[in-house]
Structure 1
C-alpha cells in the first residue's frame, strides 16, 4: 500500500528481478559515455523491461527530464504505456502535436515512427534534453523521410536508447543514431537467441516444420510454369511460386493450416490456452484464411490495420482462449502474446529481419508450462529454409548444452513480392498441393530433417527456474512538476484494494467532467462554449485544457461547479 505523509502520496518502490543480460546491458549503458546506445536482444528476452529500468534510473538521476518512447505501431504505443505504468512512469500514448505543452504531471509520451514523420518539429521541442527510447529502430529506415524526421526530432535529446530484436543492415541510407561496420549495425550490447536458450527460462525452443509442394501458375508473360520448392528458379519465378503456394485458390495452404491446427490441438491438451498465429499476405488474404478456418469449425480472430477495432481484438485474443488469430503485420512484431505456440508463415515478405520478428511472436517463455516447444510452419522456400536453418542450429547447440555457440552472419535480404513491372492481373494460380512426404515430416514436427528429434532426450524444454538474476529496487522518478505519483498497477487506495488510477486515467476522467460542467454552464448562462471554456481556464490558471495537470483540472472543475451553483 502507498504511504501518505501530510496528504501527499509516497510512491511505492518497484521491485524487479533483472535477467543477467538485462543487468549486464544496464551496466554497459551506464558505462557508455556516448549519448547513443544500441541494444539488440532476441524477441521475447525482455527488451521493454530493460529499457524502462534504464529510463527510471535516468529520470531519477535527472529530475524533470522527459521520456519519449517511439514504437513501431499504434497498438504498441498503448502496450508501452501500460508497461511503463508498472514502473511508476506516466506516459501519454495519445499525444498530438496540437496538444501544445505536455502536462507537468506526465513523465512523457509514446509515439510512432509514422507520427514522428509528420510532427518532427513539435517532437524536437518536447524531446530536447529528454531520454528517448527508439523501439525497433530499423523502422526509421522503412521510409527515407522517416529517417530524416527521426534525426530532426531527437538530435537534441540527452540520451537515445535504440532497441532491436535482431541485427540489421542498412542497404540504402544509414539509420540515425546507429554506428555501422561494413553496412552492419554495430550493437553496444547484443543478446542472441542461442544465448537466451542456453540461459533457460527466457525463450522457447522453436521448431520449423517445412512443407514442400507442387505449384502451377500462369506467369505475367503468359508462360505456364510448374515447380516444387526443390526446383531451382530465378528470383522472379521463385516469388511467383511462393505466391502460388500461399494462394487460397490452391490446396497447399489449406493442408498446411490443417497440419498446424492438429499440432495446436495436441499442445492444448496440456496447455489449454495455447494459440496460433497466421501471418497473411494482405488484408483480403487474412480475411480469406479466417473464413477457411471457420468453414472447418475452427474459430479465428482477424486483426488488420484497416479495422478500427483491431487493437481491441488483439487484447481480447491475448486474454482469451480462442485458438487462432490471423494478421498481416499487426502481430508480427512487438505485440506481447505469450500464449502463442504456433505460427503459420503465409506471407510473401521474406526478408530475414521480418522472418526473425515473426518467429519472435512464439518464443516467449511462460512459467508453469512443462512443454515449452513452439512451431513455425513454413513453405519450403529456399530463403526461409536458410533462415530457419540458422535458428535450428542455435537451438540444437543450446538444447545439447554445448558450451560454445555462435550466430552466423545474416543472409542477404529478399522480398518475394512480384517483380517490378509485373502486373498482378496477368498472374494467375492454376493450383498447388502440399507433397505427401513433407506432410508426414511436418506431422512429426521434425524440421523437415528426420523423425524423432522431439524425443525427451533432446527436448529439455521443460519449465524450470528463472535464470539467476539481479534484484533491482526502483523508486518511480519525480514528475516534471516536482511531484510524485504512485505506481498504478497493483496499488491500493484507502486500503480497499482498488488500484490507484494512473495520471492519464485521472486526466481523462476530469476532462470529461469538465466538459459536462461546461455544457451545463452554456445552457445556464447563455454564454458561448468558447467563452465558458476561456473563463474556466482563466480561473484555473491554465492556458489550454490539453496542457492542464490533474491538480489544475480538479481546480477548473471546482470553479465550474461553483459558477454553476451561482448561475442556478
Structure 2
C-alpha cells in the first residue's frame, strides 16, 4: 500500500505550510517524540523540532525551486546552538548543491551529524514508516478509555441504524477529538474510500485537529488544510482522505462559485457554534445531517452562544459527560483544589455593610494586594507532595510571569520559565525562546511554566500535576481550559493539586460551586466511582471552614455571581454581620 504521508502532490502541488506539516507527520510516523512545528516568522532557523533516543533533532525545511546552498547549512547549525539540539536535518524539495554535500562530509568528520533529506530521502523515510496507525502500534499510549470506546460504539450504532447525525458532549480533557478520529478509523473499515471533512470556526483549531487525528490514521491516509492561510485547489482536495477546514473559508469558496467535492462524513468541532451563516451554507451544500454526509458534532457545552439548543442538527447526545462527572468517575485526574482566603480583608465587610457593589467594586475593596512570596512558598511545599512534579502558573501580565519565574528560580526547588505570545502593548516573546521553553518543559528540563496568554488550549501536557492560578479571568471557558491542563490522566499520575490565589469574588463563587458539585449525591452503583476529589478553602495554610461558610451564605446564588459582568451590581453585602462569620484577623 502506498505511503501517502509523502506524495508527489505534497511535494509539488501544495504550499510551504503543507510541506512543513508533511515533515512533521513523517517524523511522528517514524516514532519521534515531543514533535513540534516551530516554523514561524523569527523561528531562528527551526521548522520542526523533535526528540528520539534522548537526542534533540532540529529540521530546517526548504520548499524552494532551486537546490539548497551552503548558507542554509550555516543557518541550521546556528539554530541548533540556539535550541541546544543535537542532530541537524535539512529537508529540501529540490536537493542540495555539491558544496553542501562536501560540507556534510566535513561536518560528520568533526562529529556533527548533519543529515540531508531530499525528495528521494523523504520517500525512503515514508517507506520505512509502518502503515499501521500509531494508535495501533502504541496501544498503551493511545488505548481508548471505557467511555471513549462506548462513545465510538454509539456513534457507529447511530450510523448503522441510518441516523442522520450524532452528538458527542465531553468536558475539556476527556478527548473529544480522539473519539472523532477513532470513529473515522472505524468508519473507513466499512468504507475504505470514505472522505471526511472536519470543520472548526478558527484557523488555529483546524491545525490542532489535524495533528490530533494523525495518530489514529494509517500512513496511507492523507490529510490537508483549507483555511485562511492555505487554499488547495480542487485536485489537491480530491486527493486527500481527510480535509481539515475553517468553516468561513469553505463558505467563502462556495459563495464565490467554487465546487465542493463529495464527503461521506462531516465532523464539526465545538459544534455549539452551529447556526451561523457560514455553517448553514456548508452543511446545506453537503446535506450534512440531512440525508447526505453523516454529521458528527463535538462540544463540551451542548448549547449555543445565544442559549438555544442543537436540536436542529442532533436528536440527543450519544454520550454526555461534564467536568464533575468526569472527576467523579475517574475519567480525569483527581483534583485537590485549594482556594486561599488569606488576602481577604474581612474588616472591609464590616465597614461596608448593606452597600451594593459590582464585582469590580467588591474586588477593589475586599482584597489585599499581590502576595507572590506566599504563592511561591506554597508551590515549593506542594512540589514535595507530588511524584515527578510538573507545574503551570497562570499569570496576568508578562512582568508578573517573569517575576514569578525569577522567584521560583531563586528558591531553586525547580527551574521555571516565563512564556507568552504577545502583550496588549505589542511586546512579544521571541519564537525561538518560546519554542525552546515548550521543548524544555516537554522533556522535563524545565519544571514550571509561568504562562500569560498561552497554554489555555492546543498544548497537550498530560503529566502536569500542579496548576497555580494567579490570573484573574472572567471567562468560565478559559478557566475550564486552564484547569484542564492538569486534569488529563497520565501514567503514574493520581491527582492534580490546584492552588488558587485569584483575588476575584467570582472565582470564590466558582470554587464553592465546584465544591457543591463534587460533594453532591453520587451514583453508588457506578463501576468507576472516585472519591479523591475535593475543594478546600485555606487561611494561613490551614483549612478555613468558617470563611468558606460565610462566603457561601453571603454570595447566595453562586452561578449568578460567577457569571456576573465586571460592572453589574448584583451583589449586596450582608445587612448585618453574620453570626459565626470570620472576625477581625
CA distance in 2, matches of 1:212, 1:126: 57
Matched, 1:99 2:232: yes
Residues 68 and 110 in structure 1, CA contact (< 8 A), matched pair in contact too: yes
**Distance of aligned partners of 1:127 and 1:313 in 2 relative to their CA distance in 1, 3 Å threshold:** farther
Structure 1: runs of 5+ lacking an equivalent: 181-185, 217-224, 421-436, 441-568
Indicate the residue corresponding to 2:441 in structure 1. 317
- CA drift at 1:415: 5.3
- CA drift at 1:30: 2.1
Indicate the residue corresponding to 2:388 in structure 1. 271
**Distance of aligned partners of 1:55 and 1:85 in 2 relative to their CA distance in 1, 3 Å threshold:** same
Structure 1 residues 281-301: Cα deviation after superposition (integer angstroms, max 9, x where no partner)? xxxx2x122122133253223
**Distance of aligned partners of 1:176 and 1:97 in 2 relative to their CA distance in 1, 3 Å threshold:** farther
Indicate the residue corresponding to 1:304 in structure 2. 421
Matched, 1:80 2:209: yes
CA distance in 1, matches of 2:314, 2:475: 22
Structure 2: runs of 5+ lacking an equivalent: 4-123, 410-415, 531-556, 569-581
- CA drift at 1:233: 7.0
CA distance in 1, matches of 2:408, 2:508: 31
Structure 1 residues 22-67: Cα deviation after superposition (integer angstroms, max 9, x where no partner)? 1221222123244332211232222222110111222443344332
Residues 67 and 131 in structure 1, CA contact (< 8 A), matched pair in contact too: yes
Indicate the residue corresponding to 2:497 in structure 1. 374
Structure 1 residues 514-561: Cα deviation after superposition (integer angstroms, max 9, x where no partner)? xxxxxxxxxxxxxxxxxxxxxxxxxxxxxxxxxxxxxxxxxxxxxxxx
CA distance in 2, matches of 1:359, 1:290: 18
Indicate the residue corresponding to 2:147 in structure 1. 21
CA distance in 1, matches of 2:278, 2:513: 35
**Counterpart selection for 2:401 from 280, 290, 293:** 290
Residues 164 and 295 in structure 2, CA contact (< 8 A), matched pair in contact too: yes
Q: Scaled by the length of structure 2, what TM-score is found?
A: 0.54
Residues 393 and 470 in structure 2, CA contact (< 8 A), matched pair in contact too: no
Residues 506 and 563 in structure 2, CA contact (< 8 A), matched pair in contact too: no
1:141-290 alignment to 2 at 5 Å? 147-155=276-284, 156=286, 157=288, 158-168=293-303, 170-171=305-306, 187-200=317-330, 202-212=331-341, 234=356, 237-242=358-363, 251-255=369-373, 257-267=375-385, 270-272=387-389, 274-278=390-394, 280=396, 285=397, 287-290=398-401
CA distance in 2, matches of 1:229, 1:148: 52
CA distance in 2, matches of 1:34, 1:92: 28
- CA drift at 1:361: 1.6
Indicate the residue corresponding to 2:181 in structure 1. 52
CA distance in 2, matches of 1:46, 1:376: 25
- CA drift at 1:232: 8.1
Q: Secondary structure at the match of 2:166?
A: strand
**Counterpart selection for 1:361 from 481, 485, 493:** 485
Residues 338 and 362 in structure 1, CA contact (< 8 A), matched pair in contact too: yes
Structure 1 residues 179-218: Cα deviation after superposition (integer angstroms, max 9, x where no partner)? 59xxxxx533112344434544x311112222236579xx
CA distance in 2, matches of 1:229, 1:93: 59
CA distance in 2, matches of 1:171, 1:337: 32
Q: Secondary structure at the match of 1:99?
A: coil
- CA drift at 1:271: 1.0
Matched, 1:135 2:265: no
Matched, 1:339 2:463: yes
- CA drift at 1:363: 0.6
- CA drift at 1:332: 1.8
Residues 351 and 413 in structure 1, CA contact (< 8 A), matched pair in contact too: no
Residues 401 and 452 in structure 2, CA contact (< 8 A), matched pair in contact too: no
Structure 1 residues 277-323: Cα deviation after superposition (integer angstroms, max 9, x where no partner)? 3153xxxx2x1221221332532231336758367754553344423
Q: Secondary structure at the match of 1:98?
A: coil
CA distance in 1, matches of 2:304, 2:350: 31
**Distance of aligned partners of 1:382 and 1:413 in 2 relative to their CA distance in 1, 3 Å threshold:** closer
Residues 349 and 366 in structure 2, CA contact (< 8 A), matched pair in contact too: no
**Counterpart selection for 2:194 from 62, 65, 80:** 65
Residues 404 and 450 in structure 2, CA contact (< 8 A), matched pair in contact too: no
Pick 1 or 2: higher relative contact order, CA cutoff 8 A, min separation 6.
1
Q: Secondary structure at the match of 1:38?
A: strand
Indicate the residue corresponding to 1:478 in structure 2. none
**Please, what is the CA RMSD of the aligned residues?**
4.7
Indicate the residue corresponding to 1:108 in structure 2. 242
CA distance in 2, matches of 1:330, 1:259: 24
Residues 343 and 369 in structure 2, CA contact (< 8 A), matched pair in contact too: no
**Distance of aligned partners of 1:108 and 1:329 in 2 relative to their CA distance in 1, 3 Å threshold:** farther
Residues 242 and 381 in structure 1, CA contact (< 8 A), matched pair in contact too: yes
**Distance of aligned partners of 1:241 and 1:345 in 2 relative to their CA distance in 1, 3 Å threshold:** farther
CA distance in 2, matches of 1:315, 1:233: 51
CA distance in 1, matches of 2:323, 2:379: 26
CA distance in 2, matches of 1:357, 1:192: 13
